[in-house]
Amino acid sequence: MKRKIALSLLVLFSFFAIGAVIATVYVTNTTSELSRLIRLHQVEQLRRTLVISIQTTQTDFYAINTPFSRKLNSIVKHAAILEKSAAVCTSCHHPPNISKRLIEIQTLVQDYQTALSYYITASANEDRIRELASTASAIGNDLLLATEQMSFEASKTLQKITNESMNKIEDVKLILLVTLISTFFLGLIVSVLLTRSIVMPIKELLGATRMIASGSYDHKITFHDRTEFGELARNFNIMSDALEEKSRIEEQLKHSQKMEAIGTLTAGVAHEYNNIMTSIIGFGEFLQEDIGTDSPLREYVDDIVISARRATGLTSSLLAYSRKQITHMEALVVNEALSSVHRFLSKLVGEGIELRFLTPAHDLTIMADRSQLEQVFINLSTNALDAMPLGGTLTIKLETVKLENMPELPQAEFEPGTYVLISVTDTGMGIDEKSKEKIFEPFYTTKDIGKGTGLGLSMVYGIIKSHNGYIHVDSEPGKGSDFKVYLPQIESADLEVEPAAVLIAETGTETVLIAEDEELVLKLMKKTLEKAGYRTITAINGEDAVQKYSRYKNEIDLLFFDVAMPEKDGKQAYEEIRKTDPDVKVIFISGYGELNDPRIRSILNNGKLLLNKPVNTNELLRKIRTVLG
């Protein structure tokens, strides 16, 4: 900026200097013209003096021998003045025509003086004196005529020169005026440009700081130069990038804290909530069995069980969003999972909906929890169907992509590699920008009251993140939506082929020690196992379970412990029992459902079976039978 100011001042000085030089040149020329004009007038005055001298001498000559005559000395005196005037006129610089006439006049002056001398000194007869007087008079007349003609011509030349000089003076005045005005406006333009070059960056910087202060950290300054303002703009943009990155990290931290809070809240509620749901579903299923399908009350009982099962999805969805839901990862062929989804969706689509599945001929394999992943595809598909009330096309496409970067995500969060891409595309109503920013937040929904909980997409988001994947949505109002799910692909050679499942009887006669602090759940589990033929021993907490095992050690074949119990939890009770019987068999059940719980992680890491409340009766019996062998 110092250089720009110095350069601008130099330009201003140059303009004024040029203007001053032009003015000086024209003033000097004008002064010369005026000096020349003054000299010419002085010369004109000399010429007039010459004419007067000739006239005076000639008059004195004519007045000789008359009453008006003066002395001869006067004639001699004027004759001398005449010679001197002629010499002065001849010595000045004149145009060639004037100079020629001045030479002629000087010759005539000399002849005139000679004639006068002869006349004055003549003493001969009167005829001779008259002859000399006539000669002197004739020469004087010629001299006067020549002088007057020369003076006339000189006056014409003087007038012409005078007019030219006056025109030049007027031109100089105009040129000086134009120079002064031009210099002023050029200086004004330079001043304005210099001011703009200083003020505009300051205004942009001021506007940018206001944008940053309002939270628009992505705002950038556009001008770039090598001045201090340019350096300030570059540093400002660096600061803006840093603030934007900081804001992004803070948003991620808030998001993580929000998920942690939701997960903590959900996990805290899940235990009590799932115990209640376990009792409702379990006893509801007993009612279904007891009243039969023909009873008019069966419809109400079915509704109770269905509603209770739907309610259990609430905690599962929240835990999935906060990524605290327990997952059972296994090598999964995505083609097969989508085939199951295809069969399910084929029963849901109505008239006007075209369902298209585009899958490659070869298998694409990932590590995933099958039930959770199917839940993701079903949620995305049902949302797509809901977005097309007037009909349309739902396309589910499966393909492989190699990603080096993902512009939608910060580079630090993205892992380059080969991904299985599942695209769920509809031709429905689309999503606006404001909604796109919130669609993955829990309890956010654009559906009418009673038609959605706002947990579907948040659950999808949590499940995809727990599978180390990414989800992105492209959508515009009226142009449909395209949800893209990226999941890390594994090679088919990495698959572990599991032996075919063997049908296992769901009944037994063994003795099971049940430890559960919730009275209704304990009652339900006892009744369920006894109906399947098992003997049961019950305990109301971990300490009671240890005592019961010590008393009936030789009779007990299986421990069925709730994880979270007062006095001593199920994990602690199992560890104490295992000290006396390392081979004791155990199944854990929990309504807590949080993967981050150290007890849950320990159970899973040691390869023990963990069931989540509420548990399906048939699944419970199958798992018991599997563990007992």
Summarised one tens digit per residue, pLDDT across range 132-177 is: 677 777 877 777 777 777 677 767 777 777 777 777 777 777 877 8
* Statement: residue 409 has pLDDT above 60: no
Per the CB < 8 A criterion, the answer to whether 500 and 489 are in contact is no
Angle (CA) 298-301-306 rounded to 5° is 120
Burial annotation 308-320 (CB, 10 A radius, 16+ → b, else e): beebbebbbbbbb
pLDDT given at position 5: 65
Structure tokens at 473: 């949505």
Q: pLDDT band at 462, cuts 50/70/90?
A: confident
- Range(s) for CATH 1.20.120.1730 in the chain? 2-188
Q: pLDDT band at 601, cuts 50/70/90?
A: confident
Comparing 515 with 174, the larger pLDDT belongs to 515
Q: What is the rounded CA–CA span in Å between residue 138 and residue 117?
A: 14
pLDDT given at position 358: 92
SS3 of 123, please?
Answer: coil
pLDDT given at position 414: 67
**Which distant-in-sequence residues (6+ apart) come within 8 Å of 76 by Cβ?**
116, 120
Q: What is the rounded CA–CA span in Å between residue 154 and residue 140?
A: 20
* Statement: residue 496 has pLDDT above 60: no
The least confident of 136-140, 420-424, 465-469 is: 136-140
Q: What is the rounded CA–CA span in Å between residue 582 and residue 389?
A: 60
pLDDT given at position 71: 52
Q: pLDDT band at 1, cuts 50/70/90?
A: low
The least confident of 212-216, 278-282, 394-398, 492-496 is: 492-496
Average pLDDT rounded to a whole number, residues 586-601: 73
Name the DSSP letter for residue 486.
E
Considering 180-184, 218-222, 366-370, 585-589, the range whose residues carry the highest mean pLDDT is 585-589
What CATH number is given for 511-628 in this structure? 3.40.50.2300
Neighbours of 544 (CB within 10 A): 17
Question: For 57-97, how does the pLDDT look when each residue is reduced to its tens digit (9 = 90+)?
Answer: 667 666 666 654 555 555 556 556 656 666 665 555 556 66
Per the CB < 8 A criterion, the answer to whether 314 and 255 are in contact is no
pLDDT given at position 421: 93
Q: What is the CA radius of gyration of the chain?
A: 61
**Which distant-in-sequence residues (6+ apart) come within 8 Å of 146 by Cβ?**
101, 104, 105, 108
Per the CB < 8 A criterion, the answer to whether 351 and 391 are in contact is yes
Q: pLDDT band at 497, cuts 50/70/90?
A: very low
Average pLDDT rounded to a whole number, residues 466-482: 88
The least confident of 321-325, 391-395, 507-511, 614-618 is: 321-325
**Looking at the DSSP assignment, which residues form a beta bridge with residue 425?**
395, 482
Considering 45-54, 110-119, 459-468, 510-519, the range whose residues carry the highest mean pLDDT is 510-519
* Statement: residue 499 has pLDDT above 60: no
Q: What is the rounded CA–CA span in Å between residue 587 and residue 622?
A: 12
Q: What is the rounded CA–CA span in Å between residue 381 and residue 355?
A: 10
Strands 609-612 and 586-590: parallel
Q: Which CATH architecture has domain 329-494?
A: 2-Layer Sandwich (3.30)
SS3 of 326, please?
Answer: coil
Q: pLDDT band at 8, cuts 50/70/90?
A: low
Structure tokens at 129: 């004196």
Structure tokens at 599: 């007890």
pLDDT given at position 262: 64
> What is the full DSSP assignment across 52-70?
HHHHHHHHHHHTTTSTT--
Considering 95-104, 207-216, 285-294, 448-457, the range whose residues carry the highest mean pLDDT is 285-294
Q: How far is CA 252 from CA 187, 398, 409, in A?
A: 56, 30, 11
Q: How far is CA 276 from CA 86, 567, 616, in A?
A: 145, 21, 14
pLDDT given at position 321: 56
* Statement: residue 392 has pLDDT above 50: yes
Q: What is the rounded CA–CA span in Å between residue 240 and residue 431?
A: 30
* Statement: residue 493 has pLDDT above 50: no
Query: Residue 478 corresponds to which amino acid?
Result: G
Q: pLDDT band at 504, cuts 50/70/90?
A: very low
Considering 13-27, 455-469, 483-497, the range whose residues carry the highest mean pLDDT is 455-469
Neighbours of 507 (CB within 10 A): 12
pLDDT given at position 397: 93
Average pLDDT rounded to a whole number, residues 476-500: 75
Question: For 520-575, how does the pLDDT look when each residue is reduced to its tens digit (9 = 90+)?
Answer: 889 999 999 999 999 999 999 999 999 999 999 999 999 999 988 888 889 899 99
- Percent of the residues in the chain that have a pLDDT greater than 90, as a whole number: 15
Per the CB < 8 A criterion, the answer to whether 586 and 545 are in contact is no
* Statement: residue 104 has pLDDT above 90: no
Question: For 228-262, how does the pLDDT look when each residue is reduced to its tens digit (9 = 90+)?
Answer: 767 777 887 888 888 878 877 777 677 667 666 76
Q: How far is CA 482 from CA 128, 236, 397, in A?
A: 142, 37, 11
The long-range contacts involving 268-273, CB below 8 angstroms and separated by at least 24 positions, are 269/315, 270/315, 270/319, 270/591, 270/592, 270/593, 270/594, 271/564, 271/590, 271/591, 271/592, 271/593, 272/591, 273/315, 273/591
The fold adopted by the segment(s) 2-188 is Four Helix Bundle (Hemerythrin (Met), subunit A) (1.20.120)
Question: For 341-357, how does the pLDDT look when each residue is reduced to its tens digit (9 = 90+)?
Answer: 888 788 777 778 898 98
Closest CA to 33 of 152, 173, 154: 173
Comparing 122 with 221, the larger pLDDT belongs to 221
Comparing 256 with 296, the larger pLDDT belongs to 296
pLDDT given at position 319: 62
pLDDT given at position 93: 52
> What is the full DSSP assignment across 78-118?
HHHHHHHHHHHHHHS---HHHHHHHHHHHHHHHHHHHHHHH
* Statement: residue 430 has pLDDT above 50: yes
Comparing 112 with 342, the larger pLDDT belongs to 342
pLDDT given at position 394: 92
Q: What is the rounded CA–CA span in Å between residue 528 and residue 534?
A: 9
- Range(s) for CATH 3.40.50.2300 in the chain? 511-628
Helices vs strands, H then E, count in the chain: 15, 12
Q: What is the rounded CA–CA span in Å between residue 409 and residue 464?
A: 15
Pinpoint the alpha helices (H) of 429-504: 433-436, 456-466
Comparing 68 with 334, the larger pLDDT belongs to 334
Structure tokens at 545: 């379970």
Q: pLDDT band at 500, cuts 50/70/90?
A: very low
Question: For 432-454, how does the pLDDT look when each residue is reduced to its tens digit (9 = 90+)?
Answer: 888 887 787 766 666 655 455 56
Strands 392-403 and 353-358: parallel
State the average pLDDT for the chain: 77
Per the CB < 8 A criterion, the answer to whether 425 and 387 are in contact is no
The long-range contacts involving 192-200, CB below 8 angstroms and separated by at least 24 positions, are 193/8, 194/4, 194/5, 194/8, 197/4, 198/1, 198/229
Q: Residue 192: exposed, middle, or buried by beta-carbon count in 10 A (0-12, 13-18, 19+)?
A: exposed
Neighbours of 178 (CB within 10 A): 12
Closest CA to 595 of 317, 325, 273, 246: 325
pLDDT given at position 550: 93
Q: pLDDT band at 188, cuts 50/70/90?
A: confident
Structure tokens at 608: 């023990």
Q: pLDDT band at 290, cuts 50/70/90?
A: confident
Q: How far is CA 187 from the centre of its chain?
A: 37
